[in-house]
A and B are shown apart, each in its own frame.
Chain A
Protein backbone atom coordinates (compact mmCIF):
# COMPACT_ATOMS: atom_id res chain seq x y z
CA UNK A 1 0.00 0.00 0.00
CA UNK A 2 1.43 3.37 -0.92
CA UNK A 3 1.74 6.20 1.55
CA UNK A 4 -1.19 8.28 0.29
CA UNK A 5 -3.62 5.36 0.47
CA UNK A 6 -2.35 4.59 3.93
CA UNK A 7 -2.86 8.18 5.09
CA UNK A 8 -6.40 8.14 3.69
CA UNK A 9 -7.14 4.89 5.51
CA UNK A 10 -5.82 6.23 8.81
CA UNK A 11 -7.76 9.49 8.54
CA UNK A 12 -10.92 7.66 7.50
CA UNK A 13 -10.76 5.11 10.30
CA UNK A 14 -10.07 7.71 13.00
CA UNK A 15 -12.80 9.95 11.63
CA UNK A 16 -15.22 7.05 11.48
CA UNK A 17 -14.60 6.04 15.10
CA UNK A 18 -15.03 9.66 16.18
CA UNK A 19 -18.20 9.92 14.08
CA UNK A 20 -19.75 6.76 15.57
CA UNK A 21 -19.06 7.96 19.10
CA UNK A 22 -20.39 11.44 18.45
CA UNK A 23 -23.53 10.66 16.45
CA UNK A 24 -24.29 7.07 15.59
CA UNK A 25 -27.59 7.48 13.67
CA UNK A 26 -26.17 10.31 11.59
CA UNK A 27 -23.14 8.21 10.67
CA UNK A 28 -25.20 5.17 9.81
CA UNK A 29 -27.61 7.21 7.68
CA UNK A 30 -24.72 8.70 5.75
CA UNK A 31 -23.18 5.26 5.15
CA UNK A 32 -26.55 4.04 3.90
CA UNK A 33 -26.75 6.97 1.52
CA UNK A 34 -23.33 6.40 0.00
CA UNK A 35 -24.10 2.69 -0.14
CA UNK A 36 -27.27 3.51 -2.06
CA UNK A 37 -25.32 5.63 -4.52
CA UNK A 38 -22.72 2.95 -5.11
CA UNK A 39 -25.47 0.33 -5.49
CA UNK A 40 -27.00 2.54 -8.16
CA UNK A 41 -23.72 2.48 -10.07
CA UNK A 42 -22.93 -1.18 -9.36
CA UNK A 43 -24.23 -2.44 -12.72
CA UNK A 44 -21.99 -0.07 -14.63
CA UNK A 45 -19.00 -0.64 -12.38
CA UNK A 46 -19.14 -4.43 -12.79
CA UNK A 47 -19.79 -4.10 -16.52
CA UNK A 48 -16.77 -1.86 -17.10
CA UNK A 49 -14.42 -3.93 -14.95
CA UNK A 50 -15.28 -7.01 -16.97
CA UNK A 51 -15.14 -5.03 -20.21
CA UNK A 52 -11.53 -4.16 -19.37
CA UNK A 53 -10.73 -7.89 -19.45
CA UNK A 54 -12.25 -8.25 -22.91
CA UNK A 55 -10.38 -5.20 -24.18
CA UNK A 56 -7.06 -6.49 -22.82
CA UNK A 57 -7.67 -9.92 -24.33
CA UNK A 58 -8.63 -8.80 -27.81
CA UNK A 59 -6.67 -5.61 -28.28
CA UNK A 60 -2.99 -6.50 -28.04
CA UNK A 61 -0.71 -4.04 -26.21
CA UNK A 62 1.08 -3.34 -29.51
CA UNK A 63 -2.14 -1.97 -30.96
CA UNK A 64 -2.82 0.17 -27.91
CA UNK A 65 0.78 1.39 -28.09
CA UNK A 66 0.38 2.14 -31.78
CA UNK A 67 -2.83 4.15 -31.45
CA UNK A 68 -2.40 5.70 -28.03
CA UNK A 69 1.36 5.65 -27.73
CA UNK A 70 3.69 8.60 -27.82
CA UNK A 71 4.12 8.65 -31.58
CA UNK A 72 0.45 9.38 -32.11
CA UNK A 73 -0.06 11.63 -29.12
CA UNK A 74 -1.78 14.62 -30.73
CA UNK A 75 -4.45 12.80 -32.74
CA UNK A 76 -5.16 10.23 -30.07
CA UNK A 77 -5.42 12.97 -27.44
CA UNK A 78 -8.08 14.84 -29.42
CA UNK A 79 -9.94 11.60 -30.14
CA UNK A 80 -9.81 10.54 -26.48
CA UNK A 81 -10.97 13.99 -25.37
CA UNK A 82 -13.94 13.71 -27.75
CA UNK A 83 -14.78 10.20 -26.56
CA UNK A 84 -14.58 11.43 -22.96
CA UNK A 85 -16.94 14.30 -23.77
CA UNK A 86 -19.70 12.12 -25.16
CA UNK A 87 -19.52 9.19 -22.75
CA UNK A 88 -21.23 9.23 -19.41
CA UNK A 89 -19.67 6.62 -17.11
CA UNK A 90 -18.90 7.17 -13.46
CA UNK A 91 -15.40 8.57 -12.86
CA UNK A 92 -15.18 5.74 -10.41
CA UNK A 93 -14.56 3.20 -13.17
CA UNK A 94 -12.70 5.57 -15.45
CA UNK A 95 -9.57 5.14 -13.33
CA UNK A 96 -9.24 1.35 -13.64
CA UNK A 97 -9.99 1.68 -17.36
CA UNK A 98 -7.32 4.39 -17.71
CA UNK A 99 -4.90 2.34 -15.60
CA UNK A 100 -5.34 -0.68 -17.83
CA UNK A 101 -4.61 1.38 -20.94
CA UNK A 102 -1.47 2.93 -19.41
CA UNK A 103 -0.27 -0.52 -18.30
CA UNK A 104 -0.66 -1.70 -21.89
CA UNK A 105 1.58 1.05 -23.19
CA UNK A 106 -0.76 3.97 -23.87
CA UNK A 107 0.79 7.39 -23.44
CA UNK A 108 -0.61 9.26 -20.46
CA UNK A 109 -1.53 12.32 -22.56
CA UNK A 110 -4.65 10.85 -24.23
CA UNK A 111 -5.53 9.06 -20.99
CA UNK A 112 -5.49 12.28 -18.96
CA UNK A 113 -7.50 14.06 -21.66
CA UNK A 114 -10.08 11.26 -21.50
CA UNK A 115 -10.43 11.33 -17.71
CA UNK A 116 -10.72 15.10 -17.60
CA UNK A 117 -13.29 15.53 -20.37
CA UNK A 118 -15.21 12.52 -19.12
CA UNK A 119 -15.93 14.30 -15.87
CA UNK A 120 -15.95 17.98 -16.88
CA UNK A 121 -17.46 18.07 -20.37
CA UNK A 122 -20.98 16.78 -20.73
CA UNK A 123 -22.50 16.43 -24.18
CA UNK A 124 -25.21 14.13 -22.85
CA UNK A 125 -26.02 16.48 -19.97
CA UNK A 126 -25.84 19.56 -22.22
CA UNK A 127 -29.66 19.98 -22.44
CA UNK A 128 -29.98 19.84 -18.65
CA UNK A 129 -27.19 22.33 -18.11
CA UNK A 130 -28.63 24.63 -20.78
CA UNK A 131 -32.00 24.57 -19.09
CA UNK A 132 -30.52 25.67 -15.77
CA UNK A 133 -27.83 28.11 -16.85
CA UNK A 134 -28.64 29.16 -20.41
CA UNK A 135 -26.96 28.38 -23.74
CA UNK A 136 -24.10 30.86 -23.54
CA UNK A 137 -22.87 29.76 -20.11
CA UNK A 138 -23.13 26.08 -21.05
CA UNK A 139 -21.28 26.49 -24.35
CA UNK A 140 -18.53 28.60 -22.74
CA UNK A 141 -18.06 26.27 -19.76
CA UNK A 142 -17.96 23.08 -21.81
CA UNK A 143 -15.65 24.52 -24.49
CA UNK A 144 -13.24 25.89 -21.91
CA UNK A 145 -13.25 22.55 -20.09
CA UNK A 146 -12.43 20.77 -23.33
CA UNK A 147 -9.53 23.10 -24.13
CA UNK A 148 -8.15 22.97 -20.59
CA UNK A 149 -8.45 19.17 -20.53
CA UNK A 150 -6.13 18.99 -23.53
CA UNK A 151 -3.77 21.55 -21.99
CA UNK A 152 -3.61 19.62 -18.72
CA UNK A 153 -2.93 16.43 -20.67
CA UNK A 154 -0.13 18.00 -22.73
CA UNK A 155 1.56 19.58 -19.71
CA UNK A 156 1.38 16.28 -17.83
CA UNK A 157 2.88 14.52 -20.81
CA UNK A 158 5.79 16.96 -20.95
CA UNK A 159 6.35 16.80 -17.19
CA UNK A 160 6.55 13.03 -17.06
CA UNK A 161 8.90 12.81 -20.01
CA UNK A 162 11.40 15.15 -18.41
Chain B
Protein backbone atom coordinates (compact mmCIF):
# COMPACT_ATOMS: atom_id res chain seq x y z
CA UNK B 1 0.00 0.00 0.00
CA UNK B 2 2.75 2.35 1.05
CA UNK B 3 4.50 1.90 -2.26
CA UNK B 4 1.34 2.56 -4.25
CA UNK B 5 0.70 5.74 -2.29
CA UNK B 6 4.26 6.86 -2.85
CA UNK B 7 3.94 6.18 -6.60
CA UNK B 8 0.77 8.23 -6.84
CA UNK B 9 2.43 11.06 -4.94
CA UNK B 10 5.39 10.99 -7.33
CA UNK B 11 3.18 11.09 -10.36
CA UNK B 12 0.34 13.23 -9.09
CA UNK B 13 0.90 15.94 -11.67
CA UNK B 14 0.99 13.38 -14.47
CA UNK B 15 -2.13 11.67 -13.08
CA UNK B 16 -3.88 15.05 -12.99
CA UNK B 17 -2.94 15.82 -16.59
CA UNK B 18 -4.03 12.37 -17.82
CA UNK B 19 -7.36 12.70 -16.00
CA UNK B 20 -7.88 16.13 -17.54
CA UNK B 21 -7.23 14.70 -21.01
CA UNK B 22 -9.61 11.79 -20.41
CA UNK B 23 -12.33 14.13 -19.19
CA UNK B 24 -11.81 16.37 -22.20
CA UNK B 25 -11.82 13.40 -24.56
CA UNK B 26 -15.26 12.45 -23.27
CA UNK B 27 -16.88 15.87 -23.08
CA UNK B 28 -14.99 17.99 -25.59
CA UNK B 29 -13.07 15.67 -27.90
CA UNK B 30 -12.12 18.51 -30.23
CA UNK B 31 -10.47 20.43 -27.37
CA UNK B 32 -8.61 17.30 -26.25
CA UNK B 33 -7.32 16.85 -29.78
CA UNK B 34 -6.31 20.50 -30.03
CA UNK B 35 -4.50 20.39 -26.67
CA UNK B 36 -2.66 17.27 -27.72
CA UNK B 37 -1.63 18.86 -30.99
CA UNK B 38 -0.48 22.03 -29.25
CA UNK B 39 1.72 19.98 -26.95
CA UNK B 40 3.17 17.90 -29.73
CA UNK B 41 5.37 20.77 -30.89
CA UNK B 42 6.94 21.10 -27.44
CA UNK B 43 7.33 17.33 -27.10
CA UNK B 44 9.14 17.20 -30.44
CA UNK B 45 11.45 20.06 -29.51
CA UNK B 46 12.19 18.41 -26.18
CA UNK B 47 13.03 15.11 -27.85
CA UNK B 48 15.45 16.79 -30.25
CA UNK B 49 17.28 18.54 -27.41
CA UNK B 50 17.23 15.64 -24.93
CA UNK B 51 20.15 13.58 -26.29
CA UNK B 52 22.60 16.47 -26.27
CA UNK B 53 21.57 17.54 -22.77
CA UNK B 54 21.86 13.97 -21.54
CA UNK B 55 25.29 13.49 -23.07
CA UNK B 56 26.63 16.83 -21.96
CA UNK B 57 25.47 16.28 -18.38
CA UNK B 58 27.12 12.86 -18.41
CA UNK B 59 30.39 14.16 -19.81
CA UNK B 60 30.52 16.95 -17.25
CA UNK B 61 29.87 14.44 -14.45
CA UNK B 62 32.57 12.15 -15.76
CA UNK B 63 35.33 14.62 -16.58
CA UNK B 64 35.01 17.87 -14.66
CA UNK B 65 37.36 17.35 -11.67
CA UNK B 66 35.05 18.52 -8.89
CA UNK B 67 37.36 17.43 -6.08
CA UNK B 68 40.18 19.54 -7.55
CA UNK B 69 37.86 22.52 -7.79
CA UNK B 70 36.73 22.01 -4.20
CA UNK B 71 40.31 22.33 -2.96
CA UNK B 72 40.41 25.96 -4.06
CA UNK B 73 37.43 27.11 -2.02
CA UNK B 74 38.95 27.42 1.43
CA UNK B 75 39.53 30.48 3.56
CA UNK B 76 41.22 33.40 1.86
CA UNK B 77 40.71 31.90 -1.57
CA UNK B 78 39.65 35.31 -2.85
CA UNK B 79 38.72 35.92 -6.46
CA UNK B 80 40.00 32.53 -7.53
CA UNK B 81 37.75 30.87 -4.95
CA UNK B 82 34.75 32.84 -6.20
CA UNK B 83 35.41 31.80 -9.79
CA UNK B 84 35.89 28.16 -8.87
CA UNK B 85 32.67 28.25 -6.83
CA UNK B 86 30.88 29.60 -9.86
CA UNK B 87 32.29 26.82 -12.04
CA UNK B 88 31.44 24.15 -9.50
CA UNK B 89 27.82 25.30 -9.37
CA UNK B 90 27.54 25.66 -13.14
CA UNK B 91 28.90 22.19 -13.83
CA UNK B 92 26.72 20.33 -11.36
CA UNK B 93 23.63 18.29 -11.98
CA UNK B 94 20.41 18.10 -10.04
CA UNK B 95 18.04 20.52 -8.32
CA UNK B 96 19.16 23.15 -5.79
CA UNK B 97 18.46 21.00 -2.74
CA UNK B 98 21.03 18.50 -4.02
CA UNK B 99 23.55 21.28 -3.46
CA UNK B 100 22.79 21.62 0.26
CA UNK B 101 24.80 18.63 1.52
CA UNK B 102 27.64 19.44 -0.89
CA UNK B 103 27.81 23.02 0.39
CA UNK B 104 27.55 21.86 3.99
CA UNK B 105 30.58 19.66 3.46
CA UNK B 106 32.51 22.53 1.83
CA UNK B 107 31.53 24.86 4.66
CA UNK B 108 33.02 22.41 7.16
CA UNK B 109 36.18 22.36 5.08
CA UNK B 110 36.44 26.13 5.37
CA UNK B 111 34.65 27.55 2.32
CA UNK B 112 33.47 31.13 2.87
CA UNK B 113 29.85 32.20 3.08
CA UNK B 114 30.07 34.19 -0.13
CA UNK B 115 31.42 31.14 -1.99
CA UNK B 116 28.58 29.01 -0.62
CA UNK B 117 26.06 31.55 -1.95
CA UNK B 118 27.80 31.48 -5.32
CA UNK B 119 27.68 27.68 -5.50
CA UNK B 120 24.03 27.48 -4.44
CA UNK B 121 22.89 30.18 -6.85
CA UNK B 122 24.95 29.02 -9.82
CA UNK B 123 23.82 25.44 -9.13
CA UNK B 124 20.22 26.65 -9.21
CA UNK B 125 20.13 28.94 -12.24
CA UNK B 126 23.16 28.37 -14.39
CA UNK B 127 23.55 24.85 -15.56
CA UNK B 128 25.51 24.51 -18.74
CA UNK B 129 23.26 21.89 -20.41
CA UNK B 130 20.19 23.92 -19.36
CA UNK B 131 21.47 26.93 -21.30
CA UNK B 132 20.93 24.87 -24.39
CA UNK B 133 17.37 24.16 -23.38
CA UNK B 134 16.84 27.89 -22.85
CA UNK B 135 18.21 28.68 -26.34
CA UNK B 136 15.83 26.14 -27.85
CA UNK B 137 12.68 27.58 -26.34
CA UNK B 138 13.49 31.25 -25.78
CA UNK B 139 16.25 32.07 -28.24
CA UNK B 140 19.98 32.64 -27.93
CA UNK B 141 19.76 36.39 -27.34
CA UNK B 142 17.43 35.80 -24.40
CA UNK B 143 19.77 33.18 -22.93
CA UNK B 144 22.92 35.29 -23.26
CA UNK B 145 21.41 38.43 -21.73
CA UNK B 146 19.86 36.46 -18.87
CA UNK B 147 23.12 34.60 -18.26
CA UNK B 148 25.15 37.83 -18.06
CA UNK B 149 22.66 39.53 -15.74
CA UNK B 150 22.32 36.44 -13.55
CA UNK B 151 26.07 36.03 -13.25
CA UNK B 152 26.47 39.64 -12.11
CA UNK B 153 23.60 39.17 -9.65
CA UNK B 154 25.12 36.02 -8.18
CA UNK B 155 28.38 37.78 -7.31
CA UNK B 156 26.47 40.77 -5.91
CA UNK B 157 24.29 38.50 -3.75
CA UNK B 158 27.32 36.62 -2.49
CA UNK B 159 28.96 39.89 -1.43
CA UNK B 160 25.83 41.22 0.28
CA UNK B 161 25.15 37.93 2.09
CA UNK B 162 28.71 37.76 3.41
CA UNK B 163 28.26 41.28 4.85
CA UNK B 164 24.98 40.39 6.60
CA UNK B 165 25.53 36.82 7.73
CA UNK B 166 28.56 35.90 9.80
CA UNK B 167 30.12 32.48 9.90
CA UNK B 168 29.26 31.86 13.56
CA UNK B 169 25.58 32.33 12.75
CA UNK B 170 25.56 29.12 10.73
CA UNK B 171 24.99 25.74 12.35
CA UNK B 172 28.27 24.16 11.40
CA UNK B 173 28.83 21.84 14.34
CA UNK B 174 28.21 18.13 14.02
CA UNK B 175 25.00 16.99 15.62
CA UNK B 176 24.27 13.35 15.15
CA UNK B 177 27.41 11.30 15.03
CA UNK B 178 26.89 8.43 17.39
CA UNK B 179 27.13 5.61 14.90
CA UNK B 180 29.19 2.51 15.46
CA UNK B 181 31.97 1.18 13.27
CA UNK B 182 31.59 0.53 9.53
CA UNK B 183 28.19 1.93 8.84
CA UNK B 184 26.96 3.35 5.57
CA UNK B 185 24.21 5.91 5.91
CA UNK B 186 22.12 7.74 3.33
CA UNK B 187 20.60 11.14 3.82
CA UNK B 188 17.48 10.34 1.81
CA UNK B 189 15.96 13.80 1.90
CA UNK B 190 18.58 14.98 -0.55
CA UNK B 191 18.92 11.89 -2.73
CA UNK B 192 18.17 12.88 -6.32
CA UNK B 193 17.54 9.30 -7.37
CA UNK B 194 20.17 9.03 -10.09
CA UNK B 195 20.86 5.40 -9.21
CA UNK B 196 24.60 5.72 -9.67
CA UNK B 197 25.40 4.07 -6.32
CA UNK B 198 23.29 1.02 -7.13
CA UNK B 199 25.16 0.69 -10.41
CA UNK B 200 28.61 1.05 -8.90
CA UNK B 201 27.94 -1.06 -5.87
CA UNK B 202 24.83 -3.21 -6.45
CA UNK B 203 25.57 -5.39 -3.41
CA UNK B 204 25.02 -2.49 -1.06
CA UNK B 205 22.63 -0.08 -2.68
CA UNK B 206 19.29 -0.45 -4.35
CA UNK B 207 16.80 2.04 -5.72
CA UNK B 208 13.39 2.03 -4.07
CA UNK B 209 10.81 4.72 -4.79
CA UNK B 210 13.39 6.83 -6.62
CA UNK B 211 15.60 6.96 -3.56
CA UNK B 212 18.78 5.05 -2.80
CA UNK B 213 18.43 2.46 -0.05
CA UNK B 214 21.05 0.44 1.74
CA UNK B 215 20.57 -3.29 1.34
CA UNK B 216 23.64 -4.55 3.09
CA UNK B 217 26.01 -3.20 5.68
CA UNK B 218 28.43 -6.08 5.24
CA UNK B 219 31.48 -4.80 3.51
CA UNK B 220 34.46 -7.00 2.91
CA UNK B 221 37.87 -5.73 1.92
CA UNK B 222 37.23 -6.18 -1.80
CA UNK B 223 33.98 -4.29 -1.69
CA UNK B 224 35.36 -1.40 0.29
CA UNK B 225 36.68 0.20 -2.84
CA UNK B 226 33.39 0.06 -4.72
CA UNK B 227 31.48 1.46 -1.74
CA UNK B 228 33.96 4.29 -1.46
CA UNK B 229 33.62 4.93 -5.17
CA UNK B 230 29.84 5.12 -4.82
CA UNK B 231 30.23 7.64 -2.00
CA UNK B 232 32.66 9.72 -3.97
CA UNK B 233 30.62 9.69 -7.20
CA UNK B 234 27.30 10.52 -5.55
CA UNK B 235 26.39 13.86 -7.15
CA UNK B 236 24.50 15.07 -4.08
CA UNK B 237 26.98 13.67 -1.53
CA UNK B 238 24.24 11.98 0.47
CA UNK B 239 26.06 8.75 1.28
CA UNK B 240 28.32 8.74 4.27
CA UNK B 241 30.64 6.01 5.35
CA UNK B 242 31.68 6.03 8.93
CA UNK B 243 34.58 3.68 9.38
CA UNK B 244 35.25 4.49 13.01
CA UNK B 245 33.25 5.28 16.08
CA UNK B 246 32.96 9.00 16.66
On A, residues with C-beta under 8 Å from B are: 2-5, 8-9, 12, 15-16, 19, 23, 26-27, 29-38, 40, 43-54, 56-58, 88, 90-92, 95-96, 98-100, 102, 108, 112, 115-116, 119-120, 122, 125, 128-129, 131-134, 136-137, 140-141, 144-145, 148, 151-152, 155-156, 159-160
Closest beta carbon of chain A to B8's beta carbon, Å: 11
Let me know if B143 and A4 touch, CB within 8 A.
yes
Chain B residues contacting A33 (CB-CB under 8 Å) are: 58, 61, 194-196, 199, 233, 235
Chain A residues contacting B103 (CB-CB under 8 Å) are: 132-133
22 A-B residue pairs with Cβ-Cβ distance under 8 Å, sorted by A, are A5-B132, A19-B59, A27-B59, A33-B194, A34-B93, A37-B194, A48-B13, A49-B42, A52-B42, A53-B40, A54-B39, A90-B95, A92-B133, A95-B133, A116-B125, A128-B189, A129-B100, A132-B171, A133-B170, A134-B171, A141-B157, A156-B145
Let me know if B161 and A140 touch, CB within 8 A.
yes
Let me know if B56 and A8 touch, CB within 8 A.
yes
Is there a chain A Cβ closer than 8 Å to B156's Cβ? yes
How long is the Cα–Cα vector from A26 to B61 in the complex, in angstroms? Answer: 10
Closest beta carbon of chain A to B90's beta carbon, Å: 13
User: In the complex, which residue of chain A has the Cβ closest to the Cβ of B59?
Assistant: A15
Q: A29-B196, A100-B42 are in contact. List 18 more A-B contacts (CB 8 A).
A: A29-B200, A36-B195, A43-B10, A49-B43, A52-B42, A53-B36, A56-B35, A56-B38, A88-B95, A91-B130, A92-B130, A120-B124, A128-B189, A133-B107, A134-B171, A137-B113, A141-B120, A156-B142
Binding site secondary structure of chain A: helix
User: In the complex, which residue of chain A has the Cβ closest to the Cβ of B17?
Assistant: A47
Let me know if A30 and B61 touch, CB within 8 A.
yes
Let me know if A95 and B169 touch, CB within 8 A.
no
Let me know if A37 and B140 touch, CB within 8 A.
no
Is there a chain A Cβ closer than 8 Å to B204's Cβ? no
Chain B residues contacting A23 (CB-CB under 8 Å) are: 62
Let me know if A58 and B31 touch, CB within 8 A.
yes
Given contacts A29-B196, A32-B195, A96-B42, contact A8 B37 (CB under 8 A): no
Given contacts A120-B125, A125-B97, A148-B153, contact A140 B62 (CB under 8 A): no
Chain A residues contacting B190 (CB-CB under 8 Å) are: 128
How long is the Cα–Cα vector from A141 to B146 in the complex, in angstroms? Answer: 20
Let me know if B145 and A53 touch, CB within 8 A.
no
Size of B's binding interface in residues, CB under 8 A: 91
How long is the Cα–Cα vector from A141 to B34 in the complex, in angstroms? Answer: 42
Given contacts A119-B124, A134-B171, A141-B161, contact A57 B31 (CB under 8 A): yes
Chain B residues contacting A35 (CB-CB under 8 Å) are: 54
Let me know if A102 and B59 touch, CB within 8 A.
no
Given contacts A57-B38, A99-B138, contact A34 B124 (CB under 8 A): no
Q: Give the interface segment out of B45-53, B73-81, B215-223.
A: B45-53
